Amino acid sequence: MPQTPRPAPAGALSPFALSLLRPLLRRIALWHRDLTADLQSATDPDDDAPGIGPVRPDVRSLPPQLRMDEPYGATPAVHGMRARDITRAIAEGRDPWAEADGTGDTNGLFDPPIDAMVAAARFAALFDSAEDVAAVTRDRALAVILAPGPEDRRLMWAQMDSILGWLAELDAPGGARWRGIDTPVPGTVAGDSRDRALQRQADYRRIIASSVRQGRKTICFLPDTGSMSEIERALCRRVFTLPPPSREICIEILRATHSATGRVAEDALRDRLPEDGALAALPLPVIEGAFCEATTLAVADALADATARMRQPAGITLADVVLNAEVQAPIDRLVADVRAWMSGQLTWDEVSSSVLLFGPPGNGKTLLAAAIAGSIGGPLVATSYSDCQKHGHQGDMLRALSEKVEAAIRAVPSVFFLDELDSFTHRNAAHRRSDYIVGVVNGLLEHLSRLNDTPGVLVLGATNFPDMVDPAVIRPGRFDLKLEMGNPNRAALVRILRLALGDDADGLNLSPLADQLLGLSGAQVTALVRDARGLARADGLPLQQRHLEAAARRIAPPPDADFLWRAAIHEAGHMVVGAACGLGLPERAVLTGDGGSVEYPRPRIETRKSARARLATLLAGYTAEQLVFGEASSGAGNGPDSDLARATDLARRMLFEWGMGDHLTHLPASGAIMRPGDAVDRAVQDALSACLEQAQGILRQNRDRLNAVAEVLMAERELSKERCREVLEGLHPTIAKPVRPEPAIHDPEPPESSG
């Protein structure tokens, strides 16, 4: 009974490739049968080796083509079977197309040579036409076959001489075109020093040059076109890419290894075999082990089980992760686009497939990478600078990074996650490791280019300090989306608490806790819930509100009302002065147990007017405290990221880097060392004083507005951009009108936050 025809499967091999591949696989099977029979006969001539059947002396006297076809000449057991019987047989794991009618025998190979068969099938699958074959076999041809994975190249180097010999035997007349082909092997050895690796590479180039001088045909297996030498670039007329193992290749191998008829249950196998990307990610020994199963369907099931185990670790999806809205929306779009690509609705160049995640630690950058992998149904291939660096010197580190890159490419759709990007620092920075960093960053750039050129690989990078990363690493094209993973906002805190508490969240009042926890990371909040559960266990009680509140007090003691009011006045000062100066609306204002912050977008360029507006706004918190309480607290100048620190740096840059002072001399940060009373200090102090007076004047005129905004902050603790608009414009309809932009200079800094 014939199988019901289906449309050509995705990744189907061309008719020309099949005309090479099927005889080649049968020839390898015949070689293996003869070898196994000879070994069995030599060791135990009275018994037959398991799985190969009796060896008939007359078989070897048959012509070669008949000898290759003879093991596959049985009538399929499916002949005459009813549809329900076929369905039952397949459900039981039997393949009625592969079994011989009457006996049920599959004439399977004992311990099949899968390494040789996989290499041969992948090589034959390269050729879609006679012209493709000619590009490799014509006189003095030099062909380059790209095999990105080092294991792939090692496999092909090990098997190519045998594959070419078998092809020559099958070719007519005489197989001359497949003979006399060199396949040089680079003599690389793990652990080589850089000088030794360069020497081995030079030796390999000399072998290529020798083959060319002698007019021999040559096949070179290289990781990428960037590895081609001048000789290879000059003589190579065609660059091939070695196809990975696929379902169609597995089916063709099964015809030769597990069938007495040359046929298999193709549709059932395609349904059971894993997707091509998952199959290609399997190590070769795993594939070899699966082919030791007794039936075609058992092989498919073993491969599917192995890929499922390999792809299982992600384990979570976006439903298990809480994100702020400004991160959630683009991530949701990204996952939707990848799913659309997987279903053929989008091309990969329409997908923004690379994301830089930055922000303070503890907010789930690694967790998000795993959740994205789980949401697209692909594996997470994760590494970091320190993971790679621990392998040894520069060459070993780059080799470890390369292996991770290869794993992601072989397993599409997949997520490649690289943590600690800030360790790939600026190459032009002067320090004792400059040469090392230059080599490492250059190697990373090559890998990022390969990853971005590979459809199906999402590239995620993470850093706590984006300013420390070499700019070439995070430019558009290598990382298209840049998302700040900041501390969770109030709504996200409630969701994190609910997710961590599970069913215990019922009946608990989480809103006051969210107010108290503003400013903490997601990891701290999750740890708080674990602590609360520990307190409940110690009491021998179910988790209660008081346990959560006690755990919260350990990491975020509730501030007293006086402290909160001072912080509210401070942050309200930023908001009122920023709106009045034309700085615009804050993206977010928040009041936390440690103080608070008002976040403004950073303009792409600065003018004298916009810089002075930012200076006045930065000094407004200090001014508001003086106005309301008679003196300022340490909050305005507490640390290198404080208002006064940023205002001082902004004034220095305005005067001595951007040409907005009395002189055009460019004096960068490393040269503008300020000492009390010197020229730089006096100029910066004058600029700060002028902007301080501006802030004082605005707040004196808007004292009622200052108090009103502070009261809203005290009541709500967190204001979105739209809520800031409502508060500020509700108090004064014209206060937040934007100023007209002026011609200006570029400012490369990231967005800032006033606190």
Segment 97-107, tens digit of pLDDT: 999 998 889 98
pLDDT at 29: 94
Per-residue pLDDT for 63 more than 60?
yes
Let me know the angle formed at the C-alpha of 741 by 739 and 743, rounded to the nearest 5 degrees: 155
Per-residue pLDDT for 547 more than 70?
yes
How far apart (Å, rounded) are the C-alpha atoms in residues 550 and 288?
A: 57
Q: What percent of the chain has pLDDT over 70?
A: 87
Q: Label residue 346 exposed, middle or buried (CB < 10 Å: 0-12, 13-18, 19+).
A: middle
Per-residue pLDDT for 732 more than 80?
no
Per-residue pLDDT for 641 more than 70?
yes
- Longest CA–CA separation in the chain, Å: 111
The residue type of 275 is: E
Buried b / exposed e along 166-197 (16+ C-beta atoms within 10 A): bbbebbeeeeebbeebbbbebebeeebeeeeb
Per-residue pLDDT for 57 more than 60?
no
Per-residue pLDDT for 264 more than 90?
yes
pLDDT at 673: 62
Q: At 746, give phi and psi (nearest 5°).
A: -80, 140
- List alpha helices for 518-671, DSSP H: 522-539, 545-555, 561-580, 608-629, 643-656
Question: What value does the mean pLDDT take over residues 325-350?
Answer: 89
Q: At 675, give phi and psi (nearest 5°).
A: -120, 140
Q: Which residues are CB-neighbours of 51 under 8 A, at least 6 positions away? A: 108, 109, 110, 111
- Tell how far CA 133 is from the center of its chain: 36
| Residues pairing with 463 in the sheet | 358
- Tell how far CA 126 is from the center of its chain: 28
- Tell me, what DSSP letter sits at residue 343? T
Record the tokens describing residue 66, joined without a space: 């008949």
Which of 54-68, 405-419, 540-554: highest mean pLDDT? Answer: 540-554
- Tell how far CA 429 is from the center of its chain: 27
The residue type of 407 is: A
Per-residue pLDDT for 314 more than 70?
no
SS3 call for 23: helix
3-state secondary structure 362-402: CCCHHHHHHHHHHHHCCCEEEEEHHHHHCCCCHHHHHHHHH
How far apart (Å, rounded) are the C-alpha atoms in residues 664 and 661?
A: 7
Per-residue pLDDT for 671 more than 60?
no
How far apart (Å, rounded) are the C-alpha atoms in residues 582 and 121?
A: 68
- Tell me, what DSSP letter sits at residue 291? T
The residue type of 68 is: M
Let me know the angle formed at the C-alpha of 290 by 288 and 293, rounded to the nearest 5 degrees: 120
How far apart (Å, rounded) are the C-alpha atoms in residues 691 and 734?
A: 21
Mean residue pLDDT of the chain comes to 84
Segment 293-310, tens digit of pLDDT: 999 999 999 999 988 776
Place of tokens 């040409």: 659
Taken in order 260, 261, 263, 269, is the CA torsion positive or negative?
negative
Buried b / exposed e along 593-606 (16+ C-beta atoms within 10 A): bebbbbbbeebeeb
Segment 382-420, tens digit of pLDDT: 998 888 877 767 777 888 888 888 888 877 888 999 998
How far apart (Å, rounded) are the C-alpha atoms in residues 338 and 378?
A: 11
How far apart (Å, rounded) are the C-alpha atoms in residues 20 and 252?
A: 12
pLDDT at 51: 47
> With bands split at pLDDT 50, 70 and 90, how would you rate the model's confidence at 283?
confident
Segment 358-385, tens digit of pLDDT: 988 888 898 999 999 989 888 889 998 8
Per-residue pLDDT for 326 more than 60?
yes
Nearest one of 537, 503, 531, 536 to 517, comparing CA atoms: 531
- How would you list the strands of the sheet with 354-358, edge to edge? 380-384, 414-419, 457-463, 354-358, 481-484
Judge whether 720 and 562 are in contact, CB under 8 Å. Answer: no
Judge whether 552 and 511 are in contact, CB under 8 Å. Answer: no
pLDDT at 64: 72
Who wins on pLDDT, 709 or 150?
709
Question: What value does the mean pLDDT take over residues 176-182?
Answer: 92
Segment 554-581, tens digit of pLDDT: 988 888 889 999 999 999 999 999 999 9
Judge whether 106 and 89 are in contact, CB under 8 Å. Answer: no
Domains in the chain, please, with CATH? 15-108+246-310 (no CATH), 126-159+175-238 (no CATH), 318-484 (3.40.50.300), 490-555 (1.10.8), 561-754 (1.20.58.760)
Nearest one of 274, 249, 251 to 264, comparing CA atoms: 251
How far apart (Å, rounded) are the C-alpha atoms in residues 559 and 565?
A: 10
